[in-house]
Structure 1
């Protein structure tokens, strides 16, 4: 029975990766997949590059710190418009504070939003469920009928059923996105981290 559970988790993970747009990275079309998203992104090319660099630098900084290293894999780092969002579940508040401090001092980081929670790291089943929520939320955003709105402009992060929405949007776009995502099955709460134009 445990092996059946592992197979189901693997299937859910693969489906979620395909639906969230991570498939191009896995199957070799990373450049094409990233190019399509960048075409509609309201961030300029330098900011897109900075966000990628910040994520790599933050992940490296967490793994190099002896006080964080053992829990670094439980911390998810997302950078959008040079704002860093930390999500995941870790064992101690001291680790969260240390992670925020390390990342705050990285080059080009404007601010750090600490949404880490405390407890045992999320298991594979919960992580797969979060990926599935992201895929359903992305699909829900494609149903928004506002002029000039493109679903790829919204960055969606999910952790333990809590969904974080990031992006450079207009007020109506942000409101519509929040409303759509709020009703996606499995979403416990939506956190608005949009920057409005």
Structure 2
């Protein structure tokens, strides 16, 4: 199934987009899907969950909150800041109501909104961890999704226990990481 999707993306990209950039993007997306342990359908459902969550949360809260929804194997992780417990609970209920969501890990903090500098630092931290995963060569970096928020790094994925342990150790020893939270599903 994944190989068929990859071939379809490769075949249709030039026709639909008509440019080299689209081919490169299609190849990259196809390669990521081919390497992913999720089925193609689940991968697409995860993308849909994230998109629906973004729109529903934005419609409800607007810029009063900073909420990121990350979905992996239909498990949704909520990170960011909300003004109070009521907003935290309501955000979770909204995401739980999205079709195909199996579970919600609500890691929202009741706090003021993070600054652009703090968010940039979190993006940098995520990049550092992913690069260390690649350099470490202990497991495929595509098997672990990394989300950083306020110096806390959340690790998601379908992994073997050994891979989870390696991912946690690499993350824990990365400069700037304050805390590591595992949101894994284990294959063994």
| TM-score bracket relative to the smaller structure | 0.7 to 0.9
Aligned match of 2:26 in 12, 28, 31? 31
Q: Check whether the contact 2:158–2:184 (CA below 8 A) recurs between aligned residues.
A: yes
Higher relative contact order (CA 8 A, sep 6+): 1
Task: Tell me the residue number matched to 2:88.
Answer: 96
Verify: 1:167 aligned to 2:157, yes or no: yes
In structure 1, distance between residues paired with 2:126 and 2:85:
27
TM-score w.r.t. the length of structure 2 is 0.83
Q: Check whether the contact 2:88–2:110 (CA below 8 A) recurs between aligned residues.
A: no
| Change beyond 3 A, Cα 1:39–1:125 | same
Verify: 1:57 aligned to 2:52, yes or no: yes
Q: Deviations over 1:56-79 (max 9, x none)?
A: 1111111222xx23435x101101
- The alpha-carbon deviation at position 189 of structure 1 amounts to 0.3
- The alpha-carbon deviation at position 30 of structure 1 amounts to 3.6
Unaligned runs of 5+ residues in structure 1 are 1-26
Aligned match of 1:69 in 32, 51, 62? 62
- The alpha-carbon deviation at position 85 of structure 1 amounts to 0.4
- The alpha-carbon deviation at position 165 of structure 1 amounts to 0.3
In structure 2, distance between residues paired with 1:122 and 1:151:
28
Verify: 1:78 aligned to 2:70, yes or no: yes
Pairwise CA RMSD: 1.5
